[in-house]
Copies of this chain bind each other. A is one copy, B any other.
Amino acid sequence: MPVELTPSQALGLWHAVSLEQVRVDSRDLTLRQMAILLEIYLVPPPHTVRGLAAKLGVTKPVITRALDTMGALGLVDRVRDERDRRNVVIKRTVEGALYLEKFGDLIINQGRKL
């Protein structure tokens, strides 16, 4: 189910959403953090630090730090994997789901306004 956008619509959508998000939410996630958050919530688990690092093409500490930050914000949670205790499994949270749900609504609404 492809979404066909003109260049003007594509940038206009990004513009409107970025603008509104900046105005509404003081939590200023970086693009990397946003990518990580969406990866966690949109791709089936399990998610690990190593896996996310590979997927985004960044180093592991980048993921660790992003999880620190977003964990403090309550957007994600970390649980040690009991089957291989070297691993940490990243868990979704209610607050994180809510955050993305609102963000999705923002995109939809700004898209309609185009």
Interface size on A, residues (CB 8 A): 46
Q: A23-B57, A111-B2, A114-B2 are in contact. Are A35 and B7 (CB under 8 A)?
A: no
- What is the interface of chain A mostly: helix, strand, loop, or mixed? helix
Q: So how many copies of this chain end up in the complex?
A: 2
Interface string of A30-74 (1 = CB under 8 A from B): 111011001101100000000000011110000000000000000
| Across the A-B interface, the 9 shortest Cβ-Cβ residue pairs | A15-B38, A10-B107, A3-B111, A18-B35, A23-B57, A7-B104, A2-B112, A10-B104, A11-B104
13 pairs, CB–CB < 8 Å, chain A vs chain B: A3-B5, A14-B38, A14-B107, A15-B38, A18-B34, A18-B35, A19-B56, A22-B32, A23-B56, A23-B57, A28-B30, A28-B31, A28-B32
